[in-house]
Structure 1
Amino acid sequence: MSRKIKSAEEFLREETGEIRHLRKFERILIGVIAVAWALFQLSLASWLILDSTKTRAIHLAFAIVLLFLNIPIVKKPSGWLKKLVSLNKISILDYTLAAVGAVSALYIMLAWEGLATRQGAPITIDIVAGLAILVLLLEATRRSIGPALTVIALAFTAYAFLGPHMPDVLAFKGVSLNKYLNQISLSTEGIYGIPLGVSASIVYLFVLLGSMLDKAGAGKFFIDLALSLLGKYKGGPAKAAIVASGLTGLVSGSSIANVVTTGTFTIPLMKKVGYPAKKAAAIEVAASTDGQIMPPIMGAAAFIIAEYVNVPYLEVVKAAAIPAFVSYTALFYVVHLEASKLGMKGLPKEEIPGFFATLKGGLHYMLPIAMLVYELVVLRHSPEKAAFNAIIVLIAIILVRGIRNGLKDKAIGLGKGFFDSVMTMCQGFIAGSRNMVAVALATASAGIIVGVVNMGIGGMITMIVEQLSGGSIFLLLIITAIASLLLGMGLPTTATYIVMASLTAPIIVEVGGLYGFVVPLMAAHLFCFYFGILADDTPPVGLAAYAAAAIADSDPIKTGLQGFAYDMRTAIIPFFFVFNTDLILHDIFSWTQGILVFVMACCGAFAFTSAVQGWYITRNKWYEIPFFLFACLVLFHPGSINEYLNIPESSRYLVYLIGLGVMGLLYLEQKFRAGRQTA
């Protein structure tokens, strides 16, 4: 068992940069820098007032320094590289790169007045600093999240310079070095653009809150609470895994971290009640991947959506609510069908934690989350203020718990209890900073691509994509989905979303408008967001699937394929909310109408899941599958058949009865058939 867990933890360590086995003073140095970053971000949210350019520059400088100190030039040196690269200490080269990276990242802040006066005509030192941050950022990104984003950024950069020499259909007027650097490195239109700004002002605080909750022990509480509620039911551990992953997803923006946190406990339990290893791992992957779409705290990209669409973050939460909860409800249905196929039962009573005892022992972990939701939903405070206040509540809880433990246990003592609570906070600060490195670097590097697109090639890309899609909005969505999945194999969700949203979200809206089909900008951005998330378990690269397979001792490719099969119920939802904007509550302000849309969408997801899984009450017959798919279409998008039935718009929801009727007839038919098989 230890070998499997270690393999899964290796994926997590690589994601958070814990590659080197550092000496004591090096660990202290990195810890001090990480804590300083956390304190800087908390200061920004409370008393420290800086303009956005300075905030972004300092944020990026911290990320670059931590990256070069944590991750060597290659993660697994072999041959002659072993003589140059050490995993047991920080090299002189990396100290140098960290220092130069910090200075070059801060240059835009230190020289801002001069840059503003000579905009468009950089002097030599501007060019040197601009090139330095560009090169070091791309190298840091390569070390952090792999070569994919670096290669894409370089490809866009090459295109910016080589545009005049391209074939006519791809021709672009090109740019000079001065214009390129002024756009990308020496202004807030590229590296220091909106994505990095959101990372600096909002995302860090949410990642910090999640890391502190994890270090305080909330992860184990979420798992035990889910097991206490659902462990006794058919396929109980799998259903508990879904709830636990959803709760963990509230405070974790990483699919891999979610898999390792919850899967270490839930995957063995799923195997114990009869799930095959591949399916146990795949269920955890599907649940953990969808953790990033769970309101009210979604993945880092959700905050960038709010900036791009120019709406309050709560509007993004509102739009994402029905799709997210439909997706999780459908996953419950998936594991129920799998349990039914295999004739499973729940866990024995003696192996299930007591609900009230579990709740009492960890209720305090819910207070910061409750505070966050209250601030966001009731008081309508900004996300950063809400996250900051939730962190303050969590810090108070950690301190009170440490002092209480010291008073209750004389062996610990008040001093030791207080010291332990301070160390827990510091560990949370360090973990939060480590987790943020990849996000900060990804948003900065994605800014290079956004900057190049905004230099004039956006219109040309629109024309090419429109020609590829033949003017078909449906084909355009398929192209976007496939491109997102392919990009997401090598990029984190946030970077995938930024790239695809910059390239295709405006095109989806524009092409739809050309053919009289109104696509809200929110729907286009959420479409890119969803498929960026789904890439986390897309074979052959999906790292979440590899982490889960390491715990389950299953084949990672087969696990990824099974996980993607389970996630098909999520993959269809973005297509439907583009065509039926009721699903993202666009122009819907009635609770009853919203609840009706949610319930019918759940039924539609059940119909689709039954068709894909080949099971409803009993095993499906081939001729039943078209009826399931028809019911899915009607329940997700009642307007799809309105025009054929001449139903007025005011009565469009009556079409739901047709979908429910088809599901009811299939239920009766399969119930009768199952009864005959039993007899």
Structure 2
Amino acid sequence: MKRAIITGLSAALPLLALGWALEVFRAVGLALFAEQVLMAMLALTLPLAFLTLSVRGGQRDADAPVPFYDIAAALLGFAAAGYAAVHYGRIFETLFARPVDATIAGGILIVLVIEALRRATGNFLAIIVGLFLLYALVGHLVPGDLQGRRVALDRLTIYLSMDSNGMLGMPLMVTATVVIMFVLFGSYLTAAGGGQFFTDLAMASMGRYRGGSAKIAVVASALFGSISGSAVANVASTGVITIPLMKRAGFRSRIAGGVEAVASTGGQLMPPVMGAAAFLMAELLQIGYDQVMLAALVPALIYFFAVFVQVDLIAVRDGIAAIPEENIPNGRSVFRRGWYFLIPFAVLIAALFWWNLRPGEAAFWSMMSLFPLGFLLRYEGQGLTLGIVWESLCASGRVVVDIILIGAAAGIIIGVLNITSLGFALTLSLIDFAGGSLILLLIMSAVLSVILGMGMPTVGVYILLATLIAPSLIEMGIEPIAAHLFVMYFGMMSMVTPPVAIAAFTASVIAKAPPVGTAVSAVALAWTAFIVPFVFVFEPAILLSGSLGDIIVDIGRLVVGVWIVSGSLVGQLLGPLKGVKRVLFGLIGVLALLPEPALPGNDAVAWATLGLALLCVAIDAVFSRGRKVSGSRKQA
């Protein structure tokens, strides 16, 4: 009985999202408020959460009995959200009067959402939501600039639970119409063998080069990580293949784990999907999705370029060879057997950019393009069957529970910011605390983003930071897209930054390496993610905004600077870098990375910096070659 209920709820959740995204309800003559559909989703999500998650957090064992209090919470959540969904038309018309039934249902929903959130994501985010609710109740007693408006309890409850500016707001709406669709797409793609295909493709293309095992991890995570929605899930899925491969090739355990953690985290920063954050960003900024994708493209490519360069130089330094030829799949064979996995991505791009479909619809048509091929063709024995389609549907429903709860919780936070005016006060307080210094504000924002992002999935990280931190950056004159990418980058770096570093710690378990050592290695490999956001804030050309000349010069300097600094960190470039020479090259690389406002003069200085960096590399190449020739003659 329990399994049947859980299976039914798990399947109904993505089916409801599918019906709403494709406007099926309107097509059959049902005129529904968007908030009604979102309430219906909560009516499915809350019972699913309390039936599958234990009170201590984490998944309950499939055979374990459900305690009576969890059954009561599941029924109460279903009843409260279901009642609000059915009667929302009347509730909406009388919101100003604060109807008692809506207030009671809303209060129950707020409490249950926070408790379910605690079980799904841990204590941290639930505590943050609780603190915001506490502020909403006592904020008028807070002295100073952060003093809020006094709000009656019934008004607060109605606003947060039933208003489109609260729990039923934009974060939950985007989750319902976009994120769930992409989770479903990713689930079917993986079930059909897409994950194995991308791993094999990466192995075939990179395996025969030095350090090929690490390069496979980088490429595979860049290819597949964008649609996974979770760096940890990406580590768990691809890491079981790539980490042992790296260790066998000669990479130290902590470096192998660090490479996988960094590559999987970077997948969330890579267009076109960016773990679904790209669509949220477009909605929040009220700009086209294509603008978000283009702006995010160069920083993401630079991130992976830096990781790729570092693993290549580590392989040179440590003498790590390519993967044995007999273990490398034939590239033509891999492509011939799995070419059809590229079709859904082609359809996705076409649907978004040529057909101008909404993201949810684009994901649907991508799935539809995969289905016939997935049923007819097999890759390494994997393919679609009716049973697998059903299992993937149910699995997707269970996966999105925490994402839906995060969306609802984010709506509560946004509602508190709006109704108490805390959002405006928080923005001014951050600016005042920074003393009007943009650099200090950026550093503060970076630190806060890492702290607030700890332990949360991509969507939750972005929503929270876009709500709390990004407005103060925009108020200081930073371009909105740059501000949002800035906080997202630092929020995602919480995945590899101690003390939480959940992606790095997950990788350390697979690598059987010290957790902190793995996290430290990951931070070193991901150094560009801590530097490049500061660069693109001051140089919008990195985000492909500005003249063609500025774009070419700024990206050129960035590439050269990243290459040289990466070599300095590893201690290897065109030859070994040691002592003073290593420090000197590091300084030259940093000089090339500095944004133009940090350099005296004008564009001529930028060109001179680029030229100096290239000249030093050229001189070192000549001397390195000379030493090799001299050494060869002596041996002769």
- Give the whole-Å Cα distance in 2 for the aligned partners of 1:358 and 1:154: 51
Matched, 1:503 2:459: no
Question: Where does 1:620-635 land on structure 2 (aligned, <5 Å)?
Answer: 620-622=578-580, 624-635=582-593
Question: Which of the numbers 567, 582, 586 marks the counterpart of 2:526?
Answer: 567
Instruction: Answer yes or no: is the 8 Å Cα contact 1:34–1:434 preserved in 2.
Output: yes
- How far off is 1:631 after superposition? 3.5
1:102-133 Cα distance to aligned partner (Å, 9 max, x none):
23234443333333333333122122111100
Taking only the aligned residue pairs, the percentage that are identical comes to: 33
Question: Where does 1:85-124 land on structure 2 (aligned, <5 Å)?
Answer: 88-124=64-100
Question: Which of the numbers 614, 624, 633 marks the counterpart of 2:571?
Answer: 614
Which residue is equivalent to 1:664? 618
Question: Which of the numbers 217, 220, 225 marks the counterpart of 2:193?
Answer: 217
Amino acid at match of 1:464: S
Question: Where does 1:270-669 land on structure 2 (aligned, <5 Å)?
Answer: 270-401=246-377, 421-455=385-419, 456-511=421-476, 513=477, 519-587=478-546, 597-616=554-573, 617-622=575-580, 624-635=582-593, 637-638=595-596, 640-641=598-599, 644-647=600-603, 656-668=610-622
Q: 1:236 to 1:99 in 2, by over 3 A?
A: same
More deviation, 252-261/52-61 = 52-61
1:2-24 Cα distance to aligned partner (Å, 9 max, x none):
xxxxxxxxxxxxxxxxxxxxxxx
Amino acid at match of 2:43: A
Amino acid at match of 2:36: K
Q: 1:388 to 1:330 in 2, by over 3 A?
A: same
Which residue is equivalent to 1:168? 144
3-state DSSP of counterpart to 1:120: helix
- Give the whole-Å Cα distance in 2 for the aligned partners of 1:492 and 1:312: 24
More deviation, 53-62/658-667 = 658-667
Equivalenced residue count is 625
Q: 1:673 to 1:95 in 2, by over 3 A?
A: farther
Q: 1:672 to 1:26 in 2, by over 3 A?
A: farther
Question: Which of the numbers 51, 54, 59 marks the counterpart of 1:69?
Answer: 51
Which residue is equivalent to 2:242? 266
Instruction: Answer yes or no: is the 8 Å Cα contact 1:334–1:609 preserved in 2.
Output: yes
- How far off is 1:609 after superposition? 1.7
Amino acid at match of 1:509: I
Question: Which of the numbers 203, 210, 219 marks the counterpart of 2:179?
Answer: 203
User: Unpaired segments of 5 or more residues in structure 1?
Assistant: 1-24, 410-416, 514-518
Instruction: Answer yes or no: is the 8 Å Cα contact 1:120–1:182 preserved in 2.
Output: no
Which residue is equivalent to 1:52? 34
1:400-427 Cα distance to aligned partner (Å, 9 max, x none):
238x99xxx9xxxxxxx99x71111112
- How far off is 1:436 after superposition? 1.1
- Give the whole-Å Cα distance in 2 for the aligned partners of 1:271 and 1:250: 25
- How far off is 1:654 after superposition? 6.8
Q: Normalized against structure 2, the TM-score is what? A: 0.92
User: RMSD value over aligned CA atoms?
Assistant: 2.7
- How far off is 1:52 after superposition? 2.1
1:35-94 Cα distance to aligned partner (Å, 9 max, x none):
2222222222334134421232223332222211211212489xxxx9xx9961333332
3-state DSSP of counterpart to 2:97: coil
- How far off is 1:268 after superposition? 0.8
- How far off is 1:244 after superposition? 0.8
- How far off is 1:618 after superposition? 1.0
- How far off is 1:653 after superposition? 5.7
- Give the whole-Å Cα distance in 2 for the aligned partners of 1:57 and 1:240: 43
Q: Normalized against structure 1, the TM-score is what? A: 0.86
- Give the whole-Å Cα distance in 1 for the aligned partners of 2:297 and 2:602: 31
More deviation, 364-373/611-620 = 611-620
User: Unpaired segments of 5 or more residues in structure 2?
Assistant: 27-31
More deviation, 385-394/93-102 = 93-102
More deviation, 272-281/247-256 = 247-256
1:141-188 Cα distance to aligned partner (Å, 9 max, x none):
000000111100111111122123223343223321123113211201
1:430-482 Cα distance to aligned partner (Å, 9 max, x none):
22222211111111112111111112112221222112211111111111111
Instruction: Answer yes or no: is the 8 Å Cα contact 1:585–1:594 preserved in 2.
Output: yes
3-state DSSP of counterpart to 2:210: coil
Q: 1:625 to 1:47 in 2, by over 3 A?
A: same
- Give the whole-Å Cα distance in 1 for the aligned partners of 2:427 and 2:628: 53
3-state DSSP of counterpart to 1:293: coil
Instruction: Answer yes or no: is the 8 Å Cα contact 1:633–1:640 preserved in 2.
Output: no
Instruction: Answer yes or no: is the 8 Å Cα contact 1:494–1:532 preserved in 2.
Output: no
More deviation, 140-149/426-435 = 426-435
- Give the whole-Å Cα distance in 1 for the aligned partners of 2:603 and 2:333: 54
- Give the whole-Å Cα distance in 2 for the aligned partners of 1:537 and 1:153: 24
- Give the whole-Å Cα distance in 2 for the aligned partners of 1:257 and 1:280: 17
More deviation, 312-321/41-50 = 41-50
3-state DSSP of counterpart to 2:385: helix
Q: 1:157 to 1:636 in 2, by over 3 A?
A: same
